[in-house]
Amino acid sequence: MKKIHIPVYFYPLAAMLFWGLSFIWSSLLLVYYQPVTIIFIRLIISAVFLFALIFALGKFEKVERKDYKLILLSALFNPFLYFLGENYGLKFSSPTIAAVIIATIPVFSPLIGYISFREKLTPVNFIGIIVSFAGVLLMLVARDLTLAADVKGVVFLFCAVFAALLYTVALRKLTMKYSAIVLVANQNLIGIFLFLPFFLLFEAKSAIAVPLNSEIITSMLLLAILASSVSFVFFAHSVKLLGISKSNIFSNLIPVFTAIFSYMLLSELFTIQKIAGIVLVIGGVYLSERSKKQH
């Protein structure tokens, strides 16, 4: 049987498409559930799906005892802290604003690279950070200079950015030893136990009271299988094939996908100011990543 050749760039592109759509699916679910409930359920579905796939494909790998701490640490950053920041940020802001702030992750990658691996910082890196911040501010500040988004949402989203950056550092070390699907499955399994106490203490009663409908089921399955499973496997595989910098550059497509589908599915309004903000953020990411290529 002839082996199907999949282009390398398919993995990061597909991952960013599903992550862009995840803001839409999460927004739909936030109408019915609180953030922890959404994360908890999507992780259960994702873990079951991934472990079933691992055993079906015979991809089971034994994790060395010395790597348990690093896998636990990576799970603390993502899914635990990242999803808390992203979902609570999304609760207090629009899908597009959330996606644009999350898209600043690669802009700050050089700082984490310098701190963790002493990678060289250049003036262009700092220009990229300034341009991206200008884009975020342009989207967050209304014409009368008041905030167009809740401060709480912005703070939560930048906490998610910070968690994602720390996650990539741990991921870089782990992808050299384990397959992407095994890593994501174990991280999501650990994430279930991290979220369990919060779900039982604060949201279980309200979650049980929500009657299921087709929108909830469809959005949750798409979120769990595509955004929490397939996307992370694709991204981890992309990091392995392309490295952190080249993989992260694709994340500037997340707000583009989110903006398009927010307009199509949620009828989100777009102004020239909002479009200009998106362009500035993407431009800042491009400058930062171009600097890495030149050095």
State pLDDT tens for residues 58-110: 888 888 888 889 999 999 999 999 999 999 999 998 888 888 888 777 777 76
| Buried b or exposed e, range 57-89, using 16+ CB within 10 angstroms | eeeeeeeeeebeeebeebbbbbbbbbbbbbbbb
Q: Which amino acid is at 12?
A: P
Q: Does a structural domain hold residue 1?
A: no
Q: Does a structural domain hold residue 2?
A: no
Is residue 50 within 8 Å of 181, Cβ to Cβ?
yes
Q: Does a structural domain hold residue 283?
A: yes
CA 68 to CA 224: how far, in whole Å? 24
Q: Which residue matches tokens 């497509």?
A: 253
Q: Does a structural domain hold residue 3?
A: no
CA 169 to CA 282: how far, in whole Å? 23
For the segment 118-134, what is each residue's pLDDT rounded down to a tens digit?
A: 556 667 767 777 777 77
Q: Which helix (H) or strand (E) holds 152?
A: helix 151-174
- Of 164, 187, 191, 184, nearest to 230 by C-alpha is 184
Q: Which amino acid is at 10?
A: F
Q: Does a structural domain hold residue 100?
A: yes
Q: Does a structural domain hold residue 93?
A: yes
For the segment 134-163, what is each residue's pLDDT rounded down to a tens digit?
A: 777 777 776 665 666 788 999 999 999 999
**Residue 170 vs residue 39, higher pLDDT:** 39
Is residue 187 within 8 Å of 71, Cβ to Cβ?
yes
Share of the chain above pLDDT 90, in %: 39
Q: Does a structural domain hold residue 108?
A: yes
Reported pTM:
0.82
Burial of 285 (0-12, 13-18, 19+ CB in 10 A): buried
pLDDT class for 270, splitting at 50, 70, 90?
confident
**DSSP letter assigned to residue 147:** B
Q: Does a structural domain hold residue 67?
A: yes
**Count of structural domains, the chain:** 1
Task: Output the pLDDT for position 142.
Answer: 66
Range of the domain at 176: 10-294
Task: Output the pLDDT for position 144.
Answer: 60
Is residue 72 within 8 Å of 175, Cβ to Cβ?
no
Is residue 101 within 8 Å of 151, Cβ to Cβ?
no
